[in-house]
Chain A
Amino acid sequence: MDSKLVVSPSPHVHSGESTSRLMFNVVLALMPAFAVSLYYFGIGALFVTLLSVLSCVLFEYLIQKFILKVQPTITDGSAIVTGLLLAFNVPSNLPWYIVVIGSLFAIGVAKMSFGGLGSNPFNPALAARVFMLISFPVQMTSWPLPIESRLKYIDAVTGPTPLAILKEGLKKGDTISQIADQIPSHLQLFMGVMGGSLGEISALALLIGFAWLLYKKVITWHIPISIFTTIFIFTGILWLVNPEKNADPIFHLLTGGVMIGAIYMATDYVTSPMHPKGMILFGIGIGLLTVIIRVWGAYPEGVSFAILIMNAFVPLINRYVKPKRFGEEVKRNG
């Protein structure tokens, strides 16, 4: 050994964890939900998902290479996750150009214009979803029916989501028991037999992914569990007060974007708080806003808006909700 020794400050070992490995585990965790989506929505799900992932990665590459003129970082996997989540939040019969426009908004506006990975205040996939919902309201709210639409893309047979059925029914003055026969059973909801965005339908598949993320220590339980608990308690109280005008709490947990939102979107590292106390506060906020929008708002579903609104509070939460320091002295007056 003739060469000189490497001298660097401690620590001299590293966990081996990397951004790309974390992102890869998120992709893996989304695979059960993707499999369920392929089973129910078939070629539409496959096409929209592939297109969304490819265009997100491509836009990231092009923007970094030709506009920002930096070394492209597409290998970190974050654009793949954004593409997957974007696809999972749209109907499987969405026309291709809307998928591409949505991808461009997610990567170009919501992510890169704020400085890229780590600097974006809002979840790129959700920001794009809301942008698409406002720009293309018809296409974004026509939901292919599961199984029947397996071999169809644009021409898929569509129908309302359980949450839309509920909203419309209650608006007409119907009671829960009058619309109950139009709504799938809890077991069907749990398995994902319902109309909806292509990746949000199966609570079972999404919970399998949740277990994987917890096992791999990619995320902690704080955000998803505080969202679930808040929604369960809030809708539970409403249901107990008037079960004919309010759906039961299990229905609320299993429908719409609660599962995918709480497990995969709200836990986005960049746009969520930095320590457990803040995460719980963040989760409670999302839960409350979701129920308020669903029950009293104009839209049947409110998870996306709730998460985006709470994203805006993250800097405040990080500033004012601090972890308890070791050996922190109790502040005394005087």
Chain B
Amino acid sequence: MLKTFAKGGVHPPENKFSANKPIEVLPLPAKVSIPVSQHIGAPATILVAKGDKVKVGQLIAQSAGFVSANIHSSVSGTVESIDPVLDSSGYKRPAITIVVEGDEWEPTIDRSPELKRNIDADAQTIIKKIAEAGIVGLGGATFPSHVKLSVPAGKKADVLIINGVECEPYLTSDHRLMLEKGHELMVGIQLLMRALGVDKAMIGIENNKPDAIKYLTEIAKEYSGITVHALKVKYPQGGEKQLIKALINREVPSGGLPIDIGAVVHNVGTAYAVYEAVQKNKPLFERVVTVTGKNLPKPSNFLVRIGTPVSDLIAAAGGLPDDTAKVVNGGPMMGKAVTDITVPVTKGTSGIIVFPAAESKRKAESVCIRCAKCVSACPMGLEPYLLIRMSQRMMFEKMEHERVLDCMECGSCSFECPANLPLLDYIRLGKTEVNKIIRARKN
């Protein structure tokens, strides 16, 4: 029996159309718009002005606090404007727009393709380099990685967990990265292990990627302390808490962090970025993005410079099909529908999915028949049917008592609901209101 997490979970159709498409380098865009808030935490402080010349990899916005991240230019050229630009959130937010001129990289970046296996840096240096490179969680959460690696006093990590689950349907960027950059990934994991002071790392991969499991298991023998684990396919196994439960059978306490039970989780994309930052001195300014959809002519995996308009990716994948009615940034379960395809790719963009009209609109709601499918689906052991009723009646204090803040918004409840009820919409509303209540209580 393959390992998996115990409670809840669903199995949406996988639709991984681009699984066999090798990563292609997307041609340089004419212009990029790089938002200064691509991570969880404070927006970065802008360091450049209109008209400035910048190089690839140059720091253009500086981390503004402990929980924040540096931002580097992904192209060389001239800063055209520093104005709010529409991004995936649906709002216009501060961004640095650069007109591309050539492709001149910072000379400090090692552009040679050779694998650099020897690790010279010590833990402090590794964490410092990760912070300088502006690395954030590339699975989509975009939490600054150096913060996760700075273990608070009194706590100790004993295992590093590497998330190669990619449980979201459609997405294949992590899958391709594991197949094509296996050794770099392993060195990245060793860097993370040294930074944390652990001698054990476990890579969790769902069993729908047998080629990646086989390949990484094979090369892991060359690296000490790293093991690869096949997991039963079940959404949301890529959730930190679910992955830890599946691999080492520990439960992160409600309201707690993985470090509370000795674990730290990083995504495979993040581990690869760590390799590039520490071994190759390359800041995070490009990432692998899956561009896919049922009617898209050429579902693909592209290596994309941050700030490239999503429309460029769709054009390279064969162009937007005529029946498109929705474009999602991220996976179909947790991604955000964009208002316009000109929005830029950011550090958290793992995929772009175009949906045909027939799959874009929700079906009509009917009444709750109390079938309890939402309760069975919830990986956190919550009762969505109850939470939606409380939220509709504005009983937010009761929602707090029912642990609504444990909800990670995986969408399993709404996915399963035969009455098509907007369970997660109302739960989100409840979470927002409960957070307001908690803040008010503190003041």
Which A residues lie at the B interface, using CB under 8 A?
1, 3-15, 17-19, 21-22, 73, 76, 78, 116-119, 220, 269-270, 272-276, 322-329
Asked if B383 and A274 sit within 8 Å, CB to CB, the answer is yes
Asked if B366 and A326 sit within 8 Å, CB to CB, the answer is no
Asked if A327 and B253 sit within 8 Å, CB to CB, the answer is yes
Q: 14 additional contacts, CB 8 Å, given A11-B424, A14-B362?
A: A1-B320, A4-B339, A5-B325, A5-B327, A7-B338, A11-B415, A13-B332, A19-B369, A22-B418, A117-B367, A118-B367, A274-B370, A325-B406, A326-B251
Give chain B residues whose Cβ lies under 8 Å from the Cβ of A15.
10, 12, 415-416, 418
Give chain A residues whose Cβ lies under 8 Å from the Cβ of B338.
5, 7
Asked if A6 and B326 sit within 8 Å, CB to CB, the answer is yes
Determine how close the nearest CB of chain A comes to the CB of B199; give it in whole angstroms. Answer: 26
The contact string, 1 if C-beta is below 8 Å from chain A, for chain B 402-418, is 01001001010011111
Complex interface residues of chain B between 317 and 372 (CB less than 8 A to chain A): 320, 322, 324-328, 330, 332-341, 353, 355, 359-363, 366-372
- Per the bound structure, the CA–CA distance linking A323 and B256 in Å amounts to 20
Asked if A323 and B362 sit within 8 Å, CB to CB, the answer is no
Listed residue (A6, A10, A21, A22) with the most chain B CB atoms within 10 angstroms of its CB: A10
Asked if A327 and B325 sit within 8 Å, CB to CB, the answer is no
Asked if A6 and B366 sit within 8 Å, CB to CB, the answer is no
Give chain A residues whose Cβ lies under 8 Å from the Cβ of B325.
3, 5-6
> Which of B125-133, B151-159, B374-382 faces chain A?
B374-382
Instruction: Please judge, given known A-B contacts A5-B325, A5-B326, whether A19 and B254 are in contact too, CB under 8 Å.
Output: no
Residue of A17, A19, A76, A325 touching B380 (CB-CB under 8 A): A325
Asked if A327 and B252 sit within 8 Å, CB to CB, the answer is yes
Give chain A residues whose Cβ lies under 8 Å from the Cβ of B370.
118, 269-270, 272, 274
A-B interface contact total, Cβ < 8 Å: 162
Determine how close the nearest CB of chain B comes to the CB of A320; give it in whole angstroms. Answer: 13
Instruction: Please judge, given known A-B contacts A15-B415, A22-B371, A326-B7, whether A5 and B339 are in contact too, CB under 8 Å.
Output: yes
Determine how close the nearest CB of chain B comes to the CB of A251; give it in whole angstroms. Answer: 33
Give chain A residues whose Cβ lies under 8 Å from the Cβ of B367.
116-119
Residue of A6, A8, A326 touching B406 (CB-CB under 8 A): A326
Residue of B252, B322, B337, B340 touching A8 (CB-CB under 8 A): B337
B324 (CB) vs chain A CBs: closest residue: A1
Determine how close the nearest CB of chain A comes to the CB of B430; give it in whole angstroms. Answer: 14
> With an 8 A cutoff between CB atoms, is B198 at the interface?
no
> With an 8 A cutoff between CB atoms, is B425 at the interface?
yes
Q: Could you pull out 13 A-B pairs where Cβ atoms are within 8 angstroms?
A: A5-B327, A6-B337, A6-B361, A7-B90, A7-B337, A11-B414, A13-B415, A15-B10, A15-B415, A269-B369, A323-B383, A324-B7, A326-B406
Determine how close the nearest CB of chain B comes to the CB of A68; give it in whole angstroms. Answer: 13
Determine how close the nearest CB of chain B comes to the CB of A122; give it in whole angstroms. Answer: 13
Asked if A328 and B381 sit within 8 Å, CB to CB, the answer is yes
> With an 8 A cutoff between CB atoms, is B266 at the interface?
no
Give chain B residues whose Cβ lies under 8 Å from the Cβ of A21.
418
Give chain A residues whose Cβ lies under 8 Å from the Cβ of B379.
326
> With an 8 A cutoff between CB atoms, is B169 at the interface?
yes
Give chain B residues whose Cβ lies under 8 Å from the Cβ of A117.
367, 369
Give chain B residues whose Cβ lies under 8 Å from the Cβ of A73.
366
Determine how close the nearest CB of chain A comes to the CB of B335; give it in whole angstroms. Answer: 6
- Per the bound structure, the CA–CA distance linking A275 and B383 in Å amounts to 9
Give chain B residues whose Cβ lies under 8 Å from the Cβ of A5.
324-327, 337-341
Determine how close the nearest CB of chain A comes to the CB of B431; give it in whole angstroms. Answer: 12
Asked if A7 and B324 sit within 8 Å, CB to CB, the answer is no
- Per the bound structure, the CA–CA distance linking A272 and B369 in Å amounts to 11
Listed from nearest, the 5 A-B pairs whose CB atoms lie closest are A11-B411, A325-B381, A17-B418, A327-B254, A6-B360
- Per the bound structure, the CA–CA distance linking A327 and B245 in Å amounts to 10
Give chain B residues whose Cβ lies under 8 Å from the Cβ of A274.
370, 372, 375, 383, 385-386
Give chain B residues whose Cβ lies under 8 Å from the Cβ of A22.
369, 371, 418
Determine how close the nearest CB of chain A comes to the CB of B159; give it in whole angstroms. Answer: 18
> With an 8 A cutoff between CB atoms, is B298 at the interface?
no
- Per the bound structure, the CA–CA distance linking A178 and B109 in Å amounts to 97
